[in-house]
Chain A
Amino acid sequence: MRNRQQGRVIVGFLAAPVILYTVFVASPYVQAFYIALTDWRGLSAEVEVIGLANFAELSGDPVFWKALLNNLVLLVTLPVVTIGVALFLAFMLNAAGGPRSGEIRGVRGAGFYRVVYFFPYILSIAIIGVLWTNIYNPINGLLNGALRAVGLGGIQPSWLGDEKLAFWAVLAVLVWNGVGFYVVLFTAGIKAIPASMLEAAVLDGASRSQIFFRITIPLIWENIRTATVYLGIAALDAFAVVQIMTGGGPNDSTQVGSFYLYQNAFSYGRFGYASAMGVVLFVVTLALSAFTLRATRKERIEF
């Protein structure tokens, strides 16, 4: 009697979530693999299975290679810069305060800084894209206005219009967007380090940089790994910023896989080709996550 009621509850409670998830999440991922093998171009067009032809075409598509290369550069630079800045800020906020007196504490106003640093992360990436397009505006943007204000009016870069600058301008926005989140993430890690450990190091005469590199970083290694994977996924995406700020240009210098996929599907109607791209990006993502987790594996330090 009770078992039957339990069974009904299990089925009843799970039915809606499982159906919703299967229809809108699981089935699209599975279908992507099939569509990738077709030359599908839209609703009414005939669908023909063309095997691996899409993948063959992809391997010879210079724009796709350029996009992948940009993703790979982002994959290295975005985590390195973001984690570097965030670690430094988190350490300064939590363990660098006050004069050294055998006591480790945060700087004054640490709470205020953490709140403010989080602002860019809380906003929609679309809003950030629109905002920064205006900041980078060569004529009446904030940046070139600042250059004029300090007497550097002769230097007025076209931030998003210059092939050499645009990619780095996009990277800067992604870093700006993410740092606050990782400051909070690392702060949680640093706070979990027993104070006695840091105090002992200080009493033993360890310098601030020794504490940072020899104690803090090893002890929050798990958080750094997590951050690396998250930022890696962000680097393989980067869709909104590219779509809004540069449209992949100038001359494909900011093209990324996600935006090229979107263009192929929804601008050119090449659904099969776009899905093939999705499959390749999926495999790349999976391989890189596995690689990152393996490469950064360390003995977990218990404390």
Chain B
Amino acid sequence: MTTATHDRVSPQAAAVGPRRSRSARAGSSGPTIVVAQAFLVLWAVVSTVPLLWAVISSFKSDPEIVADPWSLPKALRWENFARAWDAASIGTYFGNTVLVVGGGVALTLLLSAMAAYVFARFDFRLKGALYYFFVAGMTFPVFMALVPLFFVVQNLGLGNSLPGLVLVYTAYSLPFSMFFLVAFFRTLPGEIAEAATLDGCGEVAIFFKIMLPMARPGLISVGIFNFIGQWNQYLIPLVLVSDDSKFVLSQGLANLAVEQGYAGDRSGLFAGLTIAMVPILVVYALLQGRIQAGMTAGALK
């Protein structure tokens, strides 16, 4: 506890001086707050310094990195990024990831919205059974089914391919996305669909022209959730893709870490890390309220 922190707190305490008398132990809470604040600041430092370190190191030369991990770069070596992007194939991995996640999120949204709409609006035989069939898929960790999944994908001729990854990502994203959207579709007024039916509008048109646009906020939440989940996926591509021209970012980076360890190009590795980290952090910073809500919504249901 430094005196400086005390000074910062005291004017605040003085400002509410008159109200203090109402609470018997008001004075004793000062130090507690300072300790609490110190802990809050400490965790903020612990959360950010490792990330900042990677970004700063990505501008250093290899000798600088080896000499002192805490030093600042003497010059901004942008060539590290060029090397990581081209020579270390981060550019290829980045492109693959964009394709797979773009396809995966779009397909997940379309299929889960269709299934969710049916579950929310219609009654049919086997509805309950089908519902629990999907619930089961959310309960088990993926690595349990790793071996059979590998062979299912191989046998369908989808091994080592980006479309294969899109389909598998979608399949594993379906249960959660569907349940989230079922709850969402239930909150939408059914009368509008009824009215459209009376006007002679077909069921498919009702879904695409009326219900889907109304479900936009829900679709955005599910989309963000799946974007982050699929962008960060590691185990599935590691098992299904072994051809390094088809690697996704997380997998390529982990592979690079092993290779660079031998090659000694640590500045290139840090540049690769930065390229992988920064876009997702920027997206998060821009949309943080929605992202936090989307990612915790599942847990709170």
Contacts and interface: CB of A to CB of B under 8 A. Distances in A.
Interface size class of A (residues with CB under 8 A): 35 or more
Given A17-B114, A123-B277, A237 B143 contact: yes
From DSSP, what is the main secondary structure of chain B's interface residues? helix
Contacts of B152: 23-24, 27-28, 31
B13 interface: yes
A35 B69 contact: no
B240 to A, nearest CB: 10
B96 interface: no
A196 interface: no
A88 B137 contact: no
B252 to A, nearest CB: 9
A45 interface: no
Contacts of B39: 88-89, 92
A117 B42 CA distance: 11
A122 B279 CA distance: 11
Contacts of A244: 254, 257
A101 B20 contact: yes
Contacts of B235: 239-240
Given A25-B171, A29-B145, A101-B16, A142 B53 contact: yes
Nearest to A8: B203
A300 interface: no
Given A126-B250, A127-B250, A132 B50 contact: yes
B295 interface: yes
Nearest to A33: B148
Interface in B131-152: 133-134, 136-137, 139-141, 143-152
Majority secondary structure of chain A interface residues (helix, strand, loop or mixed): helix
A300 B207 CA distance: 38
Interface in A121-156: 121-127, 129-135, 139-142, 144-146, 149
Interface string A188-201: 10000000000000
A66 interface: no
B25 interface: yes
Contacts of B276: 124, 127
Contacts of A6: 122, 203
A278 B144 CA distance: 4
Interface size class of B (residues with CB under 8 A): 35 or more
Contact of A118 (B136, B273, B292): B292
A264 to B, nearest CB: 9
Given A10-B122, A28-B152, A236-B141, A208 B32 contact: yes
A292 interface: no
Nearest to B288: A115
Given A5-B202, A20-B111, A127 B130 contact: no
Contact of B178 (A17, A114, A271): A17
A2 to B, nearest CB: 7
A240 B236 CA distance: 11
A262 B143 contact: yes
B112 interface: yes
Closest A-B pairs by Cβ, 8 of them: A28-B145, A145-B69, A124-B232, A24-B171, A126-B250, A31-B148, A28-B148, A13-B114
24 contacts: A21-B171, A24-B149, A25-B171, A28-B145, A29-B140, A32-B147, A98-B12, A99-B12, A100-B23, A116-B44, A119-B284, A123-B277, A127-B232, A127-B273, A131-B51, A179-B47, A184-B295, A208-B32, A223-B300, A227-B299, A236-B141, A266-B150, A278-B144, A279-B144
